[in-house]
Structure 1
Amino acid sequence: MKATTAVLLPCYNEEQTIGKVISDFHAALPEADIYVYDNNSTDRTAQKAKEAGAIVRQEPRQGKGNVIRAMFEDIDANVYVMADGDDTYPADAAPAMVQKVLDGYDMVIGDRLSSTYFQENKRPFHNIGNRVVRGFINSLFNAHVTDIMTGYRAFSFTYVKTYPILSKGFEVETEMTIHSLDKNVRLYEMPIQYRDRPEGSVSKLDTVGDGLKVLSTIFRMIREYRPLPFFGGLGAVIDITGIALVISVLIDFWNTGAVARFPTLIGSVLLILVGLLSIVTGIILDVIAKNDRKSYITNSNIFSYLKRAELSDKE
């Protein structure tokens, strides 16, 4: 039985470009179902999408993360292709991305940064942010992902149905990448030709606001996925500070034979205890995080088995 493909297009006020995007994906993936989830648009995005032949649904919870969460919950397919409705991603790259998922990859990343992104993107702070986030996450997870925040991706059925989306807004792509690196899923990066929005099309990104949300997401996920380095590092800094203060008091005691700074001594001992507590907390949470990875693998295996069984029954 031939694999089914769903194209997912989360949209908010993309009246100018959505028709062309749908037409391009129809041409690239003629047998795919194209879904447009309209996220409270105030223009004719939904109307244009229907006219272009897409399946249009509404998502009242504002934010890209909320839209993708609804799509993942509602839509069943063997392969999913996710893109934006702003005509910045080439639909002709979709067949190759779909094939990589069929070859066994869980997520295929449309890599903008290895091709034309830095030349096409006219927002320098976005370029700087991409580089900073990429370097930090790759260092933390010992990875080599080039494009952390791309919105052009393809997914397997198992990945879509086992990935818990917590982010509400544009930080969802960063969350996806960190989740995938932590769970060691099969990733493949495919360079794509990025193009900037056409004239008259307005970006929904708030450089400062959404940038802070991305940084907050990174901080939260590091705390959850890498608790030992997070709490252990924090505890080590606190312990070093406490030990340094204790040593200064001991030096005074060695020279004078008296403890002249009792408040410093008490404070330094408390700092050492807090640091040790932080390290122990990191160890405990690290065990919990490892158990969570085991549970994810178990759930993924169950979903994969059920999908295979369903396909066998249909054949």
Structure 2
Amino acid sequence: MDKLAVLIPAFNESQTIKKVIRNVQSATEKIDGTKIYVYDNNSSDDTATIAKEAGAVVRHEYTQGKGAVIRRMFREIDSRVYIMIDADDTYPVEAIPEMYERVIKHNADMVVGDRLSSTYFEENTRPFHNIGNTIVRGTINLLFHTQIKDILTGYRAFSYRFVKTFPVLSRGFEIETEMSIHATEKKMSVENQVIEYRDRPSGSESKLNTYSDGYRVLKTLAKLFRIYHPLAFFGGMSIALFTVSVFAFWLRVFVPFWHTGKVDNFPTLIVAAFVAMAGVTSLFSGLILDAIQSQERRNFEFELQRVHENENINSKL
């Protein structure tokens, strides 16, 4: 079991990967038992060769997507502390020792490298990325009642407990959103650490597509809200359906009936009844799924205990 595993997912980062590895080696020289892992995700350049020559442990993930890479990393590597950093040389490796200490001494399960509270908006030259980060952060903090300062950052530290209980469902860049919500919903300890951000060097291109990846992030956000808060999700849908049933359909039948005593719009009355039934179904679906989610939370606590025991066993080997 490693003491510290530095995880670097990489896809066509030959321009910066050597510098990142050298900088990480320098920043972690006082942390014994550190290993640097580079997971190459089908790069068409010399990323893997350069990383190996620089002294990293190089492995390959052939399913395309950052989520697939992180799934492989978390499954294969056992370490007391994990630090994930991008291979594009945009994050300061000098923050690694402090992030490591927060996991070890504060028992933090996730330390978030917070770019948005420092230089991100000045350094990042892609305005729609700035807007997207702000929208996603505000929406998640509102819906999930959390105080994570940077939802989409790729610079994070994790505990063994987090890594071995995190179900990786996403395949792309929405994985950071999934991590943030998982930590919040499972009541894990999360700390924010302000870091300096610098934009990619000239010639290095971002793999993040503002529109398609932004859509996937928002889609993931909606899906996770439905999973973790089914009563709020389906209850809100139920209220919307009842509102439509009453104001769009039922009143058109009731008002003439009040004056004439006759039902003139039977088709409208039937539609109103079906929409109201859909609202009732949605409400009860939310109640049932909320009970299931409560049981899932209890089961997770038992799973956390099992993982903790495995951590103690592995640390003695």
Task: Give the TM-score normalised by structure 1.
Answer: 0.96
1:231 is matched with 234
Alignment of 1:1-315 (within 5 A): 4-30=3-29, 31=32, 32-103=34-105, 104-244=107-247, 245-311=249-315, 313-314=316-317
SS of alignment partner, residue 115 of structure 1: coil
| Shift of residue 183, structure 1, vs aligned partner | 1.1
Classify the secondary structure of the residue corresponding to 1:81: strand
Runs of 5+ consecutive residues of structure 1 not aligned to the other structure = none
Once the two structures are TM-superposed, the CA of residue 3 in structure 1 deviates from its matched residue by 7.0
Deviation at 1:302, TM superposition (A): 1.1
Q: Over residues 136-195 of structure 1, what are the superposed CA-to-partner deviations in whole Å (9 max), with x where a residue is unaligned?
A: 111111122110110000000111011010100111001111111111110000000011
For 2:127, give the aligned amino acid.
P
Gaps of 5+ in 2: none
Q: Match of 1:253, as an amino acid? A: F
Cα distance, 1:215 vs structure 2: 1.1
User: What is the CA distance between 1:222 and its match in structure 2?
Assistant: 1.1
Per the TM alignment, residue 247 of structure 1 is displaced from its structure 2 partner at its CA by 3.1
Superposition deviation, residue 248 in structure 1 = 3.3
Alpha-carbon distance in 1 for matches of 2:68, 2:250: 51
* 1:310 positional shift: 3.8
Shift of 1:306: 2.3
Task: Supply the distance in 2 between the matched residues of 1:289 and 1:127 (Cα, whole angstroms).
Answer: 34
SS at structure 1 position matched to 2:43: coil
Question: 4+ residue stretches of structure 1 with deviation over 3 A?
Answer: none
Contact kept in structure 1, 2:2 and 2:78, CA below 8 Å: no
Give secondary structure in 1 for the equivalent of 2:79.
Answer: coil
Q: CA deviation digits over 1:242-262, x for unaligned, max 9?
A: 122323322211111111111
